[in-house]
Structure 1
Amino acid sequence: MSSASIADTAGTADPAGTSKARRLGELREFLMSRRARVTPAEAGLPGGGGRRRTPGLRREEVAVLAGVGASWYQWLEQGRDISVSPQVLDSVARVLKLDGAERRHLYVLAGLNPPPPEVARDDRDMCEGLHRLIDTWMPYPAHIMDAYWNCVMYNDAAASVLGMRSETSENCLLTFFADSIYRARASSWERNAPQVVAMYRAACSDHPDDDGFAAVIAEAKATSPEFTELWERRDVKPGGQVTKEIEHPVVGTLFLESTQLKVPARPDLTIVLHTPLPHAEADTAAKLEWLASAEGRRETIRSVTG
């Protein structure tokens, strides 16, 4: 090999190797830090006498409690390039009392695909804050869906503009296809229907064996031949933005852009915010502001009651 070739080889970086070394180094530091915070008493072990050199569990104790070999766990914590399985990582996560986010982080550092996100116990009571969020979005429509697209909550603008109401189906997919009021108002219904179905298939794809999705799909097929035809296309599209044209019975045409947003702490929920689109003839923003006013509310009620 020529001197030039040797120089070229010596100067060539190894991005994959560097990245892997960095990841395994992070794995070592992460496991050591998590092990140090679990006391023997918390792990169900006797405290024992004398002073301990480590503030938390020893490596050997983690290995015994997780049901793995002491040498194997030592190699894992040292950041060695060894084979790991989800089952063994779950055992280690249990012993180290990792929460959902920490467990996913452990998977990533170990080089495995992480499990689906979970809702932490401390984050289950976020609904009041999310309700404040969509109420603050007034006078624009906003609502929140669960994983199956069941409507969890909506603001007043979503009721007056999109026709959301407690007596209708609580599932947004079923409402899209079966609610006569929404379909009468949605001038863009035929254009948006394929995208809506493709987005729902994408939502299902993360949970292929979930009976909840299967129940919604079965009801949609029984309710709407249009849904059945679109579902059989098997199109997939991640949740994003949908442009809507709404023909409101009081203020006329509205042009809106709905955007799906996720809160990492609540992966089971999706926030859907509607923003007025600039349109010279429609002036959607002004119409939405008027609908939210006292006069607009009275006129809307008068229109509904006849």
Structure 2
Amino acid sequence: MDRHELAQFLRNRRESLRPAEVGLPAGTGRRRTPGLRREEVAWRAGVSANYYERLEQARAPRPSPQVVAALARALRLGDDESAHLARLAGQTPPSRERPAAEVPEGVRMLLDRVGAVPAYVLNARHDVLAWNAMAAELITDFAALPAAEQNLLRLSVRFGEQWCRGSGDGFLRQAAADLRQAAVRYPSDTGIAELVRDCSAVSAEFAASWHAHDVRGPQTLRKRINHPELGALDLDCQTLHVPGTDQRLVTFSAEPGSVDHDKLLRLQLRALRNT
């Protein structure tokens, strides 16, 4: 059980909720807290205000599974947030290993069969484990990078708009959420802490997202990628979980007949010539 991380997560989620969202009156006086009060969360969860206060102060004993479930309901947590809360509370044993680096053979075969769709595979640390020729043409030649640099987050904060971060595309927020979960799942992996430290020092946006303690799952993103020859491409970015692993298959696509789709077809021809 990580008492301090649990305390910060509970406090962040409590402060992000507004009384009206849970059916409580806002009240006539000014609130000193930006969200719900501690006693309001305690009342909704059916625990004492004193016990909940000690949870947020990292002084309480490990909550039972019933209390964890009640807190998740009181704070209106989603599935990913509820699972994260259970891990922080010590209800789910953490893995003693690092994020898996071996990509299933079937996924590798799929990468080569998706045609004009750029795709790559990430682990929980955002290491790029495998990619197809289209991803190399669209983003970068991952094989030419040192192993330590084959990480999507490091590339994004290093190159910024010159690489694949479209304005407001939400990638850094999602990466911070992913790493929050990975840090709890793999507490012995010092590489995660190093990655967070390095990227926080370079990117204020990532640092703010990390401190927000958001752990919501991957969403469909609209991403703008700036290609050195084809210019900007506005693409739909889909994330699919690889069953039995913490890996994700990420694909990029465009509406058939659109300008961006035509650019992907041109990239496919380049990829075929280079193989």
Q: TM-score, normalised by structure 2?
A: 0.54
Matches within 5 A, 1:7-86: none
Among residues 265, 271, 275, which one is paired with 1:289 in the alignment? 265
Give the superposition deviation at 1:297. 5.2
Q: 1:138 to 1:183 in 2, by over 3 A?
A: farther
- How many correspondences in the alignment? 182
Verify the 8 A CA contact 2:173 2:210 in the aligned structure 1.
no
Quick check: 1:142–1:155 contact (8 Å CA) kept in 2? yes
Residues 257/202 of structure 1: CA separation in 2 closer, same or farther (3 Å cut) = farther
CA RMSD of aligned residues (A): 3.7
Question: 2 CA distance for matches of 1:185 and 1:230?
Answer: 20
Structure 1 residue 158: Cα displacement:
0.9
Residue identity over aligned pairs, in percent, reads 23
- In structure 1, what is the Cα distance between the partners aligned to 2:140 and 2:193? 26
Alignment of 1:28-177 (within 5 A): 127-166=104-143, 167=145, 169-177=149-157
**Which runs of no fewer than 5 residues in structure 2 stay unpaired?**
1-90
Normalised by the length of structure 1, the TM-score is: 0.49
> Hey, what's the Cα distance between the residues in 1 that align with 2:200 and 2:271?
41
Stretches of structure 1 lacking an aligned partner (at least 5 in a row): 1-112, 299-306
Q: Cα distance 1:220–1:114, how it changes in 2: closer, same or farther (>3 A)?
A: closer
Q: What is the match of residue 178 of structure 2?
A: 200
Task: Mark the CA change 1:237 to 1:278 in structure 2 (over 3 Å): closer, same or farther.
Answer: farther
Structure 1 residue 202: deviation in Å?
4.8
Q: CA deviation at 1:154?
A: 0.8
Per the alignment, residue 255 of structure 1 pairs with 234
**Offset, 1:161:** 0.9
The match for 1:231 is 210
Give CA deviations for 1:77-97 in whole Å, capped at 9, x if unaligned.
Answer: xxxxxxxxxxxxxxxxxxxxx
Alignment of 1:215-230 (within 5 A): 215-230=194-209
Quote the offset at 1:187 in angstroms.
5.9
Say whether the 8 Å CA contact 1:255–1:279 is kept in structure 2.
no
Larger radius of gyration: 1
Give SS of 1:136's match: coil
